Amino acid sequence: MRRGFTLLELLIVLTILSLLLTLFFPVIVKNGLSSDESFKTKISTLFSSSFVPGKSVQICVNFKENSLTVGSETVKVPYKLDVLVLPGKIISSELTNKFCFDLKNLTYGALIGEKGELHPSILFTFPSGEVLFYNLSSAEAETLKDKVGKGRIVEWFSYYSF
């Protein structure tokens, strides 16, 4: 009676496992990155690492492809991008397919999307790199657009405090 496995049997099992991992690992990673939490973590990391004193980083919002590029990294946004709001400027998906800006003189901005009845929104501030995520109603999204566009971001925090 034989106990244990031969070296050949172990090699066959390890080969099969490595083939399965090679095939399914990219699928597992891709599905994990599409979740909301992974998206929020990725965006927060990109914005917080994008401010480098003396260096200008470009951010591009691609409304057509629903993606956000910070520097050289592009992230797919899991909802329809609708409006980019910067102080004194509102850029709509109806007006342009892509809009790029530098962080050189920017202090804050907001990216407002559309997902059914809700308006997922990203409020970003510089140079701190802080990123806040909201799921807003239509009225709240309009208020955010107004406050950021008119440069009255402090009023947004007093309006939308928890």
pLDDT by residue (tens digit) across 62-100?
999 999 888 888 888 888 999 999 888 899 888 899 999
pLDDT per residue over 105-152, tens digit each? Answer: 777 889 999 988 899 999 988 777 788 899 999 999 998 888 888 888
Strands of 21-151 (E only): list them. Answer: 58-62, 67-70, 73-76, 80-86, 89-92, 98-102, 108-114, 119-125, 131-136
pLDDT per residue over 8-36, tens digit each? Answer: 988 999 999 888 888 887 776 666 555 67
What mean pLDDT is predicted for residues 35-45? 82
How many Cβ atoms are within 10 Å of 4's Cβ, its own excluded?
A: 6
Whether the model clears a pTM of 0.85, i.e. scores above it, the answer is no
CA nearest 57: which of 46, 38, 70, 48? 70
3-state secondary structure of 159: helix
